[in-house]
Structure 1
């Protein structure tokens, strides 16, 4: 049977507050984001691995706080002044990317100080703690390492199957419950792997005109995460 050309026509993922799946893996971090008045000096670091929900939570928080969102690697000492509103809010994403980039490090350092002077809330997201960013600016490193952190843990027994259901739904697919249960029991608790796996299942299901079954899921899981030998 001829394979059908698979085009990525998926709709954007649902990223409202109601669409965020809260379990023990992320409940504490979400509670911290919901109480910015309690952030020490109005600053918070949101730390979590790929696919943990950082972008989702940052987007919800930015919408509710009317905050501007920018990528850390774009920061410079020159543009920091423009980004920090008086008494407002700002989100900096993917902060781990600035490590070893002098201009970006200086930009975040300047922005950090401006946020305090202007009484602006500052939310910074990253995949790892600041000690692992490779920062070369000592003053910036010391400030970040002493800042409050909200940690997004690896998915627990409740989160992983719920995320799989949501990832399929984002692609307008409904995987059979037995496929979700089978994957949740056998795959690593890795949300980035879950995202890649669902995308692969979607492509193969369309291209090969195959139903979403445990056999298909197993084939693609083996390709994306082969068992140790």
Structure 2
């Protein structure tokens, strides 16, 4: 009897970034940061949280986790991905927006008009007791911008440097993601993903997705190569 390839269901678990699957490891600083982010929405919490670090440091993961946490607690949050959103975001603030997320804030710096809009939005949301969550590749003092007032405001709040994960930490983060999905990942598979592609957490998680999809399609356990 011919065994046809199983078509993976579109509803196959696609776990998104969350605080639960963020790799803390033995780092007390990472654990403290996760706790601080969870508490940041409480009354009296700081307006601005600024995360900075290089590639694979987990900035984007944490910002996505903030968004997920906010939505799970019935809070309204938006992520700035395009300058054309700024006017709509300002209107949303007047309608009850609770928080704004800006991943890779450098993308929005360097143009006076755009920086002026960001500065106005910053003041609008701060005056209303809202929240800003920002990430960048460098500390606020090293950002290149044309508006000094905006630079100074980005340094007001909680500033957290995220160190890049080393290989063993990347493997542990991959195991954590695998376990969260109910997968059994051998050390062989983990090291295959680590050494056959970019040493980047997102790329590694995408590779895990691909292997999982292939293993499901072939009705086999998670293994290599596919």
TM-score, scaled relative to structure 2: 0.67
Deviation per CA, 1:162-190: give whole Å up to 9, x if none.
4213444577643224433x459868863
The alignment covers a number of residue pairs equal to: 213
Q: Judging changes above 3 Å, is the alpha-carbon distance between structure 1 residues 82 and 142 closer, same or farther for their aligned structure 2 residues?
A: same
Alignment match, 1:96? 106
Alignment match, 1:155? 165
Deviation per CA, 1:33-54: give whole Å up to 9, x if none.
1332352xx2211335457122
Q: Judging changes above 3 Å, is the alpha-carbon distance between structure 1 residues 197 and 106 closer, same or farther for their aligned structure 2 residues?
A: same
Shift of 1:59: 1.9
Shift of 1:66: 0.9
Alignment match, 1:141? 151
The CA RMSD measured in Å over matched residues stands at: 4.2
Structure 2: how far apart are the matches of 1:29 and 1:55? 12
Structure 1: how far apart are the matches of 2:113 and 2:88? 11
116, 120, 124: which one aligns with 1:114: 124
Alignment match, 1:227? none
- Is 204-213 or 56-65 further displaced after alignment? 204-213
Structure 1: how far apart are the matches of 2:86 and 2:15? 34
Q: Which runs of 5+ in 2 are unaligned?
A: none
Shift of 1:112: 0.8
Structure 2: how far apart are the matches of 1:8 and 1:109? 45
Q: Which runs of 5+ in 1 are unaligned?
A: 221-229
Shift of 1:195: 2.3
TM-score, scaled relative to structure 1: 0.66
Structure 2: how far apart are the matches of 1:80 and 1:211? 46
Structure 1: how far apart are the matches of 2:209 and 2:194? 19
Q: Judging changes above 3 Å, is the alpha-carbon distance between structure 1 residues 184 and 198 closer, same or farther for their aligned structure 2 residues?
A: closer
Alignment match, 2:64? 56
Structure 1: how far apart are the matches of 2:96 and 2:109? 28
- Preserved contact between residue 76 and residue 96 of structure 2 (Cα < 8 Å): no
1:33 aligns with 2:48: no
Shift of 1:114: 1.0
Larger helix proportion, structure 1 or 2?
Answer: 1
Structure 1: how far apart are the matches of 2:151 and 2:35? 26
Deviation per CA, 1:182-229: give whole Å up to 9, x if none.
45986886313422432454466578888644x63xxx9xxxxxxxxx
Q: Judging changes above 3 Å, is the alpha-carbon distance between structure 1 residues 195 and 185 closer, same or farther for their aligned structure 2 residues?
A: closer
Aligned residue for 1:150, secondary structure, equals strand
